[in-house]
Amino acid sequence: MIYGYWAIPGLFLAHLVTSFYNDTFVTFNIGLILIAIKSIFCVPLSAIILKRLFINLRIFFIPSYLISLTLLSAFINASLANLIQLNTRADYNLERFFPEFFGYLIGDTFGVLLVLIGYIGIRRLFYLSIEEKKYGTRFK
CB 94 within 8 A of CB 86: yes
Q: Which range of residues forms the domain containing residue 97?
A: 4-135
Angle CA(27)–CA(40)–CA(35) in degrees, nearest 5? Answer: 30
In a domain, 104, yes or no: yes
Q: What is the pLDDT of residue 139?
A: 54
Q: How many structural domains are present in the chain?
A: 1
In a domain, 114, yes or no: yes
Q: What is the pLDDT of residue 4?
A: 62
In a domain, 9, yes or no: yes
pLDDT-based confidence at residue 54 (cuts at 50, 70, 90)? confident
In a domain, 140, yes or no: no
